[in-house]
Chain A
């Protein structure tokens, strides 16, 4: 379980990324209550203080909101969720293109490569 995080990068950020993905995938739906700080801590074997920091981070990005005495909830603001989804897509794609450009692929080659790749794989995970 300890292996799901890189120990040389801040855990609170990695956990925030992980939870953002859960939200984008819909595993945590708009309006859903997040597990308590301790529950999440136990699940991923992380210090509750660190989980608390992750929740604050997500809150400052308006992805979740805490309601006094009730807990923390995924935002129901579709605009925010869509912009996070776009942002994460752009992030992953720019890493991919950077890697491809470093190997000398042209945009045209990448495009064809992608189409071929997707046709072979279908909707499954590569």
Chain B
């Protein structure tokens, strides 16, 4: 479970998050949506302990977030941050050396599912396959919280589809909470449990997506269009 209590974050004079309150529960796949610069990545970084709030408090499973939260939070950055001279296999070994909870067997299962060759060098991989490898590395950790910053960004439909199927196949919704930021809302319509919309550093809505459909006959895209107006 993730809780943000009255969280604000300023970068210099710029307000990235403004009095945010948010409670996210385990067992759900949650989408954090909003335009560029709305505070999506900042929110993820605060939960991952990569940055600290200017005000307020962030907790994961009751524990106040510090750098050490990396033990229970898997964070997928929107950047390509792995060593380009590594092979796929070496990247997995490296990740396993960094995190005690890294499940190598699961990593190879996901690798196979994503049809990646362990002997390929990262610099030889296509952008799509680098995107797939990032999914392998972040999903193979047995942690209660998985954060993914723009996992679909800039990838073609085939790759996006394989990531969607990878998520359904390998996340454990009995024990895990997955929070994804994305622009590709259509891609995640059918896989999200909840959607949180953020605009200019404020949460402007938080819904169960099936309830949106049942009570308002709205898709996530419809709802976003309405709240963002």
Q: Which residues of A contact B (CB under 8 A)?
A: 1-2, 5-12, 38, 41-42, 44-50, 53
Answer whether A2 and B189 are a contact pair too, CB < 8 Å, given A7-B219, A42-B165. yes
Known contacts A7-B190, A49-B29; 20 further A-B pairs (Cβ under 8 A): A7-B189, A7-B213, A7-B220, A7-B221, A8-B213, A8-B217, A8-B218, A9-B217, A11-B210, A11-B213, A12-B210, A38-B169, A42-B168, A45-B164, A45-B168, A47-B191, A47-B192, A47-B193, A50-B210, A53-B210
User: Given the complex of chains A and B, what is the CA–CA distance between A50 and B221 in angstroms?
Assistant: 19
Which one, A2, A10, A11, A47, contacts B168 given CB within 8 A? A47
Q: Let me know if B28 and A49 touch, CB within 8 A.
A: yes
User: Given the complex of chains A and B, what is the CA–CA distance between A5 and B186 in angstroms?
Assistant: 12
Q: Let me know if B165 and A45 touch, CB within 8 A.
A: yes
Answer whether A41 and B168 are a contact pair too, CB < 8 Å, given A1-B161, A48-B173, A49-B193. yes
Closest to B210 in A: A10
Q: Let me know if A49 and B169 touch, CB within 8 A.
A: no
Answer whether A47 and B190 are a contact pair too, CB < 8 Å, given A11-B213, A38-B169. yes
| Closest 7 pairs between A and B when the two form their complex, measured CB to CB | A7-B219, A8-B219, A7-B189, A10-B213, A41-B168, A47-B191, A10-B214
B213 contacts across to A, CB distance below 8 A: 7-11
Residue in A5, A6, A9, A47 whose Cβ sees the most chain B Cβ within 10 Å: A47
Within the complex, what minimum Cβ distance (angstroms) separates A15 from chain B? 10
Q: Does B27 sit within 8 A of A, measured CB to CB? A: yes
User: Given the complex of chains A and B, what is the CA–CA distance between A53 and B218 in angstroms?
Assistant: 19
Interface mask (B16-48 → A, CB under 8 Å = 1, otherwise 0): 000000000001110000000000000000000
User: Given the complex of chains A and B, what is the CA–CA distance between A11 and B211 in angstroms?
Assistant: 10
Q: Let me know if B29 and A2 touch, CB within 8 A.
A: no
A11 contacts across to B, CB distance below 8 A: 190, 210, 213
Answer whether A49 and B165 are a contact pair too, CB < 8 Å, given A8-B217, A8-B219. no
Q: Does B109 sit within 8 A of A, measured CB to CB? A: no
Which one, A1, A8, A46, A53, contacts B222 given CB within 8 A? A8
User: Given the complex of chains A and B, what is the CA–CA distance between A11 and B208 in angstroms?
Assistant: 12
Q: Let me know if A2 and B190 touch, CB within 8 A.
A: yes
A7 contacts across to B, CB distance below 8 A: 186, 189-190, 213, 219-221
Interface mask (B207-229 → A, CB under 8 Å = 1, otherwise 0): 00010011001111110000000
B222 contacts across to A, CB distance below 8 A: 8
Within the complex, what minimum Cβ distance (angstroms) separates A19 from chain B? 15
